[in-house]
Amino acid sequence: MSWMETLRTSFDAIRSHRLRSGLTMLGILIGIAAVILTVGLGEGAQQQVASAINSLGTNLLVVSPGSTTTGGVRGGQGSSSALTVSDATALSSKVAAPDIAAVAPTTSRSTALTAGSTNWTTSVVGTTPAWQSVRARTLAEGRFLTEQDLTSDAAVTVLAATTAQELFGGADPVGRTVAIGSTPFTVVGVLASAGNSAAQNEDDQAVVPISTAADRLFGGSTRTSVQSIYLEATSSDTLSAAYQEANQLLLNLHHVTDPAAADFTIASQQSLLSTATSVSKTLTILLGGVAALSLLVGGIGVMNIMLVSVTERIREIGLRKALGASPVVIRRQFLVEASVLGLAGGLLGAALGVIGALTLPQLISSTITISPTATAAAILTSIAIGLAFGVYPASRAARLAPIDALRSE
């Protein structure tokens, strides 16, 4: 019997029992669709996490002060005033830190803002003009802070999108006056929306020159100390070198001989990204494993149906053997039938998974990535399942003796 004849006979056998064949494919269909959607959800989550972390800035390092101990009571990380504007200036040196492209010291405090009869409490961030590039922020309108604003302690501010909306509604805020605390500031720009980060709502803040914040708003120890220093490496390849340069320079400036006793910490954007990605991958593998169990159930269904098919077609098998069909031909026919069931279930499952990946994000507000590799692998897996679970029924049919098959009732 030729391959074409084998295929024709297999399709005829499947079509003659449409309902049974459909129910057999259903198990594989559900399993394949579940695997595609699970992998897509995992990859979509990884992309969202990467996008959120990258929105903080490109090739970013964040230096934070350490903890304090007062009267035997230990404060949390960031409670000390170990970092200063001088540290930021030193980190800007191309001689001491050639792999650091830009430095942006920041200090912030929650303060009430007033525009006419409207007030809004938000985070007021004192920083330098480099903050915009380091944090990868863009302007919706107006301009950002300049070096002239910094050196002249100018009373100017750049509002984030939510802050501008809360204070001015739909009106253009550029050129208007807003009181930060009791000090009037001129709005010179509005930041484009950037969403939320792990630390704060990036769209709800007011940015002012750090010199103005120290002299006119915050005062006290914040005149010289900063709450964090953002560092931008020259490239992703030099991020590790920038980390080492910043760490060593700060250790020297703070006269710290034991790195374990450093009064500051440096967080790498890449470490945050790798940790978050690792968690997402673990969850994807876990959920994918659960979804793969349904493929096992589908494979068992294929084996069950093929065993039933062998039992029902004993006389047919005996007649074919009596007419000269070899065990190889009989085995091949049943394996082809099992493969066709697996392939059909895989294709339908892949189609259902793709449709789900396109429609579900509109209902659950989560990104689902369609992975061509995962889809192709799922279809190949469905064929493999059909073959693997069809081997025993096919072998059983091939082993039947012609005389026993012909005389069966």
Nearest to 130 by CA among 104, 163, 151, 161: 104
Across 235-259, b (16+ Cβ under 10 Å) vs e yields eeebbebbbebbbebbbebbeeeee
The β-bridge partners of 77 are: none
Helix residue spans in 55-170 (DSSP H): 85-91, 131-134, 147-151, 161-168
* Same-domain pairing of 95 and 231: yes
222 near 210, Cβ under 8 Å? no
Confidence (pTM): 0.58
Residues 24 and 126 in one domain: no
Statement to judge: residues 94 and 176 lie in one domain: yes
Q: Which helix (H) or strand (E) holds 255?
A: none
Q: Which residues contact 52 (CB under 8 A, 6 or more apart)?
A: 195, 196, 197, 198
Q: Is residue 151 part of a domain?
A: yes
Final residue of a domain: which of 262, 284, 304?
262
In 3-state terms the chain splits into helix, strand, coil percentages (rounded to 5) of 55, 20, 25
- From 237, 262, 287, the end of a domain falls on 262
Whether 22 is covered by a domain: the verdict is yes
Name every residue whose Cβ is closer than 8 Å to that of residue 336 and which is 6 or more positions away in sequence.
Answer: 6, 7, 10
Q: Hey, CA dihedral for 230, 234, 236, 237, is it positive or negative? A: negative
Are 15 and 90 in the same domain? Answer: no
Assigned domain for 248 exists: yes
Per-residue pLDDT in tens (0 to 9) along the chain, 409 residues: 566 776 777 677 777 777 777 877 887 888 888 888 877 887 777 777 666 655 555 578 889 887 544 444 344 444 456 888 899 999 999 898 999 999 999 998 999 999 988 999 999 999 999 999 888 889 999 999 999 999 999 999 999 999 999 999 888 999 999 999 889 999 999 999 876 654 567 889 999 999 999 888 887 555 678 889 999 888 878 888 998 999 999 999 988 888 888 888 888 766 665 666 676 677 667 766 776 677 777 777 777 777 777 777 777 777 777 777 777 777 777 788 788 888 888 888 888 888 888 888 877 777 778 878 778 887 888 888 777 777 777 777 777 666 665 565 4
Pair 223, 284 in one domain = no
183 and 97 belong to one structural domain = yes
Q: How far is CA 111 from CA 116, 169, 182, 388, in A?
A: 16, 19, 10, 67
Q: Are residues 92 and 240 in the same domain?
A: yes
Same domain, 318 and 217: no
What pLDDT digit, counting tens, does each position of 100-120 carry? Answer: 999 999 998 999 999 988 999
pLDDT at 69: 42
Q: DSSP for 45-79, please give it.
A: HHHHHHHHHHTT-SSEEEEEE---EETTEEP-TT-
| Same-domain check for residues 219 and 358 | no
List pLDDT tens digits, range 57-91: 557 888 988 754 444 434 444 445 688 889 999 99
Among 213, 229, 262, give the residue marking a domain's end. 262
E strand or H helix that includes residue 267: strand 264-268
268 falls within a domain: no
Q: Structural domain of residue 138, as residue ranges?
A: 81-262
Number of domains in the chain: 2
Is there a single domain that holds both residue 223 and residue 163? yes
> Do 254 and 149 share a domain, yes or no?
yes
Alpha carbon 381 to its chain centroid, in Å, reads 26
The Cβ of residue 262 has, within 10 Å, a number of other Cβ atoms equal to: 15
CB 234 within 8 A of CB 100: yes
**The residue count for the chain:** 409
Spatial distance between the Cα atoms of 345 and 25, rounded to a whole number of angstroms? 5
